[in-house]
């Protein structure tokens, strides 16, 4: 049974890597439009490597927000990857040295989702899902980010091509499967309302931080058993 599961995990990883990497085109173009050059854009993808955090960073910069707000917003969103590591620890251990550092770098939404989507009893399939997805997304994301950055300086306003909507679409695609429970739906709705209300009143980036605070307060306690995803 292990071999078919390994093949299935790798196929899922390849599909997710290609689909996620495609968003790098939008990020590269939007980053250049926000004022970063090609090398800064590529460095952001290589070192930060968290799509949500990267889009948040350039979104705040592009909207005229301060560097502090951009970094704070990006960091706040990136903290979720650390929590993913807690759930993945039983799957990936034991690891030391460069493998541990590499695993930390590719612990993202997609690698976590594919790994945990495999049968709980098949640790090999979960490890394959994590590594194939993490490395696949890393390669595709960075390569297509470079392409987007190079094209971004030539295509003019990314909004004319609809690339500005790609980031929002990517966020929605990631969040939507998590809104299966009423509590999650209520938290998401409250966060959206607060962010929209604050947008015309405070500097760019702060509405996102405020919305994240709503989610943190709501999730401070342990989730009820019926709300824990399988």
* Residue 16 shares a structural domain with residue 128: yes
Alpha-helix residue ranges (DSSP H) falling in the chain: 2-34, 38-47, 51-62, 67-92, 97-105, 109-117, 123-155, 164-175, 182-198, 206-218
Over the chain, what is the mean pLDDT?
A: 81
According to the model, what pLDDT value does residue 209 have?
Answer: 73
Domain boundary among 130, 164, 198: 164
Quote the CA–CA distance of 191 and 197 in Å, as a whole number.
10
**94 found inside a domain:** yes
Residue 47 lies in a domain: yes
More confident residue, 169 or 86: 86
184 shares its domain with 112: no
Q: Are residues 134 and 21 in the same domain?
A: yes
172 lies in some domain: no
170 lies in a domain? no
The number of domains in the chain is 2
Question: Count of alpha carbons within 13 Å of 113, Cβ hemisphere only?
Answer: 16
- Residue 29: inside a domain: yes
**Are both 69 and 143 inside the same structural domain?**
yes
User: What is the domain range of residue 32?
Assistant: 2-164
Q: Residue 64 is encoded by which pair of tokens?
A: 């005229």
On whether residue 204 sits in a domain, the answer given is yes
Q: Could you report the per-residue pLDDT of 180-207, keeping only the tens digit for each?
A: 778 888 888 888 898 889 888 876 667 7
């Amino acid at each position: 049974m292990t071999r078919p599961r390994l093949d299935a995990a790798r196929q899922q990883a390849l599909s997710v890597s290609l689909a996620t990497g495609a968003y790098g085109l939008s990020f590269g173009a939007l980053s250049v439009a926000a004022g970063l050059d090609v090398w800064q854009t590529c460095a952001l993808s290589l070192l930060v490597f968290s799509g949500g955090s990267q889009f948040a960073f350039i979104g705040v910069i592009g909207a005229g927000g301060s560097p502090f707000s951009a970094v704070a917003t990006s960091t706040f969103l990136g903290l979720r990857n650390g929590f993913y590591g807690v759930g993945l620890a039983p799957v990936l251990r034991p690891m030391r040295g460069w493998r541990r550092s590499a695993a930390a770098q590719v612990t993202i939404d997609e690698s976590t989702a594919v790994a945990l989507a495999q049968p709980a009893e098949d640790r090999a399939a979960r490890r394959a899902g994590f590594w194939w997805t993490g490395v696949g997304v890393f390669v595709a994301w960075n390569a297509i980010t470079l392409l987007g950055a190079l094209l971004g300086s030539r295509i003019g306003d990314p909004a004319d091509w609809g690339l500005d909507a790609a980031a929002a679409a990517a966020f929605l695609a990631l969040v939507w499967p998590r809104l299966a429970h009423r509590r999650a739906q209520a938290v998401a709705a409250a966060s959206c309302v607060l962010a929209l209300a604050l947008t015309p009143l405070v500097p760019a980036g702060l509405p996102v931080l405020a919305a994240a605070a709503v989610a943190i307060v709501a999730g401070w306690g342990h989730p009820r058993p019926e709300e824990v995803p399988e």
